[in-house]
Structure 1
């Protein structure tokens, strides 16, 4: 049995669980906002199904529910944020806000965030810049989860990349992608739903292709060497620049191959510096209209980056968010263990 719940109620419920686990009220609400935003856009792999795992990581001390984040360095447009193992969304909100503040003065803000934890759907933070009329770029880096072409096991990570471009009369363009063939959370979601995964998403412990999400040991890169190479470059820009390498230490056996230790990068670009106010966003609208007007090859219309997620969000805001039985059971158990009341569900 699945559970269907109104977005605001799910956000309050998620925040209550995270706060009961020791997160400060404002941070718990910001964390929950990012998770439910992912659910609303149909990216359930990065939504509230992650909460039970986050609670485990808070319990072990791997996630710091009350971090003391601080900007450790700023040189011109570049800054370094020490996130103190903060919840990922809390850290990346701060990193992007710092980047936007720098860009307001210098037209570009480039902030590396050291020692964050899992940030979820990174498009949420890129949109933070687009909502201020700036282009936003976000990347995060973690330890080995994904194969390198020709490797027998995990070498690089599924490091995501998001770019948000402000528009005029239409919503911002939003590219939000993993460097893997699929994000790990989608395999988690398939496991919760009890459904097989497509071939090409991952391999088992013996390095053989599998469609059983429970047997996936290593993810496969998007477009082979292209996805693997892009992941490696993100490790350079986010981790090496932060003085906090992840991949090299793990491959040498000096660090855990998996875990919450991560780094991030938030970039804000003041588009208005290039010309007349409104000229750029008008051209974005024109570009989007031209692409959308191209004849479709089938029944599905031509979509721009972010359009699918926006349509799903509009529907789920009206109809509620449906959580698979496995996700709802684990959330309910987490809530019970922390003394958090269950929210009301929408009728079927």
Structure 2
């Protein structure tokens, strides 16, 4: 879980967003793309998703600077039907084809009832929840996933079959939406200290997590054209090793829209009345705690760890950005 760091330093979100934008521009992104990226990363921090917040600009900036990713990609549609879209990221970050494509398929889904997006030829697309929250504003139900280049070797641990395994789902509501945004293998990565203990105690849960990761890899990866083997590479930019999938559809294909929205609203209200997990103060429907964070952090500042601030200032210095956090 993402938690507020110990000894956190509060940074105003406007200051953090402006800093991330300047770093992105210094790395080589066009100003419009840099502004979008900075907004999306800062919004993740505002929601308490620190793992996919502005700390990521340190990695992205170096990948662009070192020509591992295309800093000026020509994001473009390569295939389109009334209900589907394939968007090529031209070797850049995955945020841009995924964001552009999600906005486009929202229009398709509102018109046709359902729409599917596949993105290809790009790097990391960030938190899957970014793209699940866009259609929910249009009253659409949504599923998002992504797959990346695997390098499976014989006799490696079975966990590696799942890859990075991001998934998100969103459900509109008459009040606050449900947004589930997670990594299927969270707490089961190679650096997770309790991975083998968890597997011994709850093998069924672990196998389900791996199975969900396999869906991420096949639907988000192979469907985009990514190969199982990295040799030969499918795309030309070294850091372009990912694809993504977004599916969204209208409620009224199946039931009355207003009734559904009201039922979801009543459901989330009931969830808040339930007893919380041990160690937690309150029960929330998925996504509500992040919305609470956003409200609080906009008012009080985003809590960043000293290590995160150091990492961001270091990359700024490398790129010749004058400002520091």
Bin the TM-score by the shorter chain. 0.7 to 0.9
Which residue is equivalent to 2:150?
Answer: 144
Query: RMSD value over aligned CA atoms?
Result: 3.1
**Matched residue of 1:158: which SS?**
coil
Would you say 1:171 and 2:153 are equivalent positions?
A: no
In 2, the alpha carbon distance for the partners of 1:153 and 1:273 equals 38
| Alpha-carbon displacement from aligned partner over 1:50-96 (angstroms, at most 9, x marks no partner) | 22211221123222121111111123412211111222222211121
Task: Tell me the TM-score normalised to structure 2 length.
Answer: 0.85
Q: What corresponds to 1:340 in structure 2?
A: 321
Tell me whether 2-11 or 101-110 shows the greater mean CA deviation: 2-11
Partner of residue 278 from structure 1, selected from 225, 233, 258? 258
2:19 is the alignment partner of 1:16: no
Which one of 103, 119, 130 corresponds to residue 125 of structure 2? 119
Aligned residue for 1:132? 138
CA contact (8 A) 2:180 2:286 kept: yes
What's the counterpart of residue 66 of structure 1? 72
Are the aligned partners of 1:181 and 1:222 in contact in 2 as well (CA < 8 Å)? no
**1:85 aligns to 2:65 (yes or no):** no
Deviation at 1:174, TM superposition (A): 0.4
Change in CA separation of 1:146 and 1:52 when aligned onto 2, cut-off 3 Å: farther
SS in structure 2 at match of 1:268:
strand
Note if contact 1:145-1:156 (Cα within 8 Å) is conserved in structure 2: no
CA contact (8 A) 1:98 1:109 kept: no
Secondary structure, in 3 states, of the residue corresponding to 1:224?
Answer: helix
Residue 180 of structure 1 is aligned with which of 165, 178, 185?
Answer: 185
Cα displacement (A) at 1:10: 0.4
Structure 2: where are the runs of 5+ without partners?
1-6, 198-202
Which residue of structure 2 lines up, in the alignment, with residue 261 of structure 1? 241
Secondary structure of 2:127's aligned partner: coil
Q: State the alpha-carbon separation in 2 of the partners of residues 150 and 340 from structure 1.
A: 42
CA distance in 1, matches of 2:232, 2:162: 15
The residue that corresponds to 1:227 in the other structure is 209
> Which of 268, 272, 284 is the equivalent residue of 1:303?
284
Q: How far is the alpha carbon of 1:16 from its aligned partner?
A: 1.2
- Return 5+ residue gaps in structure 1 as ranges: 188-196, 203-220
> 1:161: how far off?
0.6
Which whole-Å CA distance do the structure 2 matches of 1:17 and 1:182 have between them? Answer: 31
Among 87, 94, 100, the alignment partner of 2:106 is 100
Give SS of 2:186's match: coil
Larger deviation: 124-133 or 275-284? 275-284
CA deviations 1:147-199 (Å, max 9, x no partner) are 9997278333122110111111x221100010113387xx7xxxxxxxxx652
* Distance in structure 2 (CA, Å) of the matches to 1:116 and 1:314: 32
Task: Name the SS for the 1:300 alignment partner.
Answer: coil
Number of residue-to-residue matches in the alignment: 312
Partner of residue 292 from structure 1, selected from 262, 269, 272 = 272
The answer as to whether partners of 1:140 and 1:159 remain within 8 angstroms in 2 is yes
Q: Distance in 2 between matches of 1:76 and 1:12?
A: 38
TM-score, length basis structure 1: 0.80
Secondary structure, counterpart of 2:89 in structure 1: strand
How many angstroms apart in 2 are the aligned matches of 1:309 and 1:107?
Answer: 29
Q: CA 1:153 to 1:162, structure 2 compared with 1: closer, same or farther past 3 Å?
A: closer
**In the alignment, which of 211, 226, 238 is matched to residue 220 of structure 2?**
238
SS at match of 2:157: coil
For the Cα contact (< 8 Å) 1:142–1:260, is it kept in 2?
no
What is the rounded CA distance, in whole Å, between the counterparts of 1:53 and 1:166 in structure 2? 33
Q: Distance in 2 between matches of 1:267 and 1:3?
A: 38
Cα distance between partner residues in 1 of 2:40 and 2:59: 16
1:264 Cα offset (Å): 0.5
Structure-1 separation of matches of 2:133 and 2:241: 24
Contact 1:148 1:154 in 2 (8 A): no
